[in-house]
Chains A and B, each alone.
Chain A
Amino acid sequence: MSANTRVVRNATCTFCGCVCDDMHLTVDDDTHKIVKAENACVLGRAWFKEHGIEQRPQALIEGREASTEEAIEAAARILADARFPMIYGLSDTTCEAQRQAVAIADMIGGNIDTTTSVCHGPSGMAFQAVGESTATLGEIRNRADLVIFWGGNPAESHPRLFTRYSVTAKGMYIPNGKKDRTVVLVDVRRTPSAAVADIFVQVKPRRDFEVLWALRALVKGRHVDPAIDQLTGVPLATLEDLAARMKACRFGALMFGMGLSMTRGRHFNSGALLALASDLNQYTHFVAKPVRGHGNVTGADNVVSWQTGFPFGVNMSRGYPRFSPGEFTTVDVLSRGEADAALIVAADPGSNFPQAAIDHLRRIPVIVLDPKETHTSRLAKVAITTSTYGINVGGTVYRMDDVPITLRPALPSPYPSDESVLKRIRERVGELIGGKRIPAMERIGVAA
Chain B
Amino acid sequence: MSETMILIGGRSSSQGTSLCAGKLGTEYVEVSSTLEMNVEDMARLGLKDNDRVRVRSATGEIVVRCKGRAAKDLPSGLLFIAYGPLSSALMDGDTAGSGMPLSKNIEVQIEPVA
Residues of A at the B interface (CB closer than 8 Å) are 15-16, 42-43, 45-47, 49-51, 113, 117-118, 121-122, 125, 153, 155-157, 159, 188-192, 202, 205-206, 258-259, 261-264, 266-267, 293, 312-313, 325-327, 329-332, 334-335, 348, 350-358, 372-375, 378
Which residue of the partner chain B has the closest CB to A206?
Answer: B105
In the assembly, what is the distance between CA of A39 and CA of B12, in Å?
20
CB distance from A63 to the nearest CB of B (A): 15
Inter-chain contact A331/B101, CB cutoff 8 Å: yes
Inter-chain contact A262/B104, CB cutoff 8 Å: yes
Interface window among B39-47, B48-56, B75-83: B75-83
In the assembly, what is the distance between CA of A42 and CA of B12, in Å?
11
In the assembly, what is the distance between CA of A188 and CA of B105, in Å?
9
The residues of B that contact A205 with a CB separation of less than 8 Å are: 6, 8, 78, 104-105
Q: Which of B60-95 contact A (CB under 8 A)?
A: 60, 72-75, 78, 80, 83-85, 88-89, 91-95
The residues of B that contact A45 with a CB separation of less than 8 Å are: 17
Which residue of the partner chain A has the closest CB to B21?
Answer: A50
Choose among B78, B84, B100 the residue that contacts A261 (Cβ–Cβ < 8 A). Answer: B100
Inter-chain contact A122/B11, CB cutoff 8 Å: no
Q: How many contacts between A and B, using CB within 8 angstroms?
A: 164
The residues of B that contact A117 with a CB separation of less than 8 Å are: 99-100
Q: Kindly list the 10 A-B residue pairs having the minimum CB-CB distance in the complex, ordered from nearest.
A: A329-B99, A326-B97, A335-B93, A356-B93, A46-B17, A50-B20, A354-B93, A325-B99, A157-B11, A46-B20
Inter-chain contact B24/A331, CB cutoff 8 Å: no
The residues of A that contact B93 with a CB separation of less than 8 Å are: 331-332, 334-335, 353-357
In the assembly, what is the distance between CA of A42 and CA of B19, in Å?
12
In the assembly, what is the distance between CA of A49 and CA of B74, in Å?
32
Chain B interfacial residues counted at CB < 8 A: 44
In the assembly, what is the distance between CA of A282 and CA of B60, in Å?
47
> Assuming A121-B98, A267-B98, A352-B88, is B20 touching A49 (CB within 8 A)?
yes
Inter-chain contact B100/A122, CB cutoff 8 Å: yes
Inter-chain contact A50/B99, CB cutoff 8 Å: no
> Assuming A202-B75, A348-B23, A375-B85, is B102 touching A156 (CB within 8 A)?
no
> Assuming A190-B72, A335-B94, is B88 touching A259 (CB within 8 A)?
no
CB distance from B60 to the nearest CB of A (A): 6
What are some 14 contacts across the A-B interface (CB < 8 A)?
A: A15-B20, A42-B16, A43-B13, A43-B17, A46-B18, A121-B98, A153-B10, A188-B8, A205-B78, A258-B104, A325-B95, A332-B95, A353-B101, A375-B85
Which residue of the partner chain A has the closest CB to B38?
Answer: A189
Choose among A189, A326, A330, A354 the residue that contacts B96 (Cβ–Cβ < 8 A). Answer: A326
Choose among B16, B24, B97 the residue that contacts A43 (Cβ–Cβ < 8 A). Answer: B16
CB distance from B29 to the nearest CB of A (A): 11
Inter-chain contact B78/A121, CB cutoff 8 Å: no
CB distance from A35 to the nearest CB of B (A): 15
In the assembly, what is the distance between CA of A331 and CA of B16, in Å?
23
> Assuming A312-B99, A325-B98, A354-B91, is B21 touching A46 (CB within 8 A)?
yes
Inter-chain contact B8/A355, CB cutoff 8 Å: no
Q: Can you name 4 extra interface pairs (CB under 8 A) apart from A122-B98, A205-B78, A329-B99?
A: A206-B6, A329-B98, A374-B23, A374-B24
Choose among B21, B73, B98 the residue that contacts A266 (Cβ–Cβ < 8 A). Answer: B98
CB distance from A175 to the nearest CB of B (A): 30
In the assembly, what is the distance between CA of A189 and CA of B12, in Å?
13
CB distance from B114 to the nearest CB of A (A): 25
In the assembly, what is the distance between CA of A272 and CA of B20, in Å?
34
CB distance from A258 to the nearest CB of B (A): 7
The residues of B that contact A325 with a CB separation of less than 8 Å are: 95, 97-100
Inter-chain contact A355/B102, CB cutoff 8 Å: no
Inter-chain contact B20/A353, CB cutoff 8 Å: no
CB distance from B41 to the nearest CB of A (A): 13
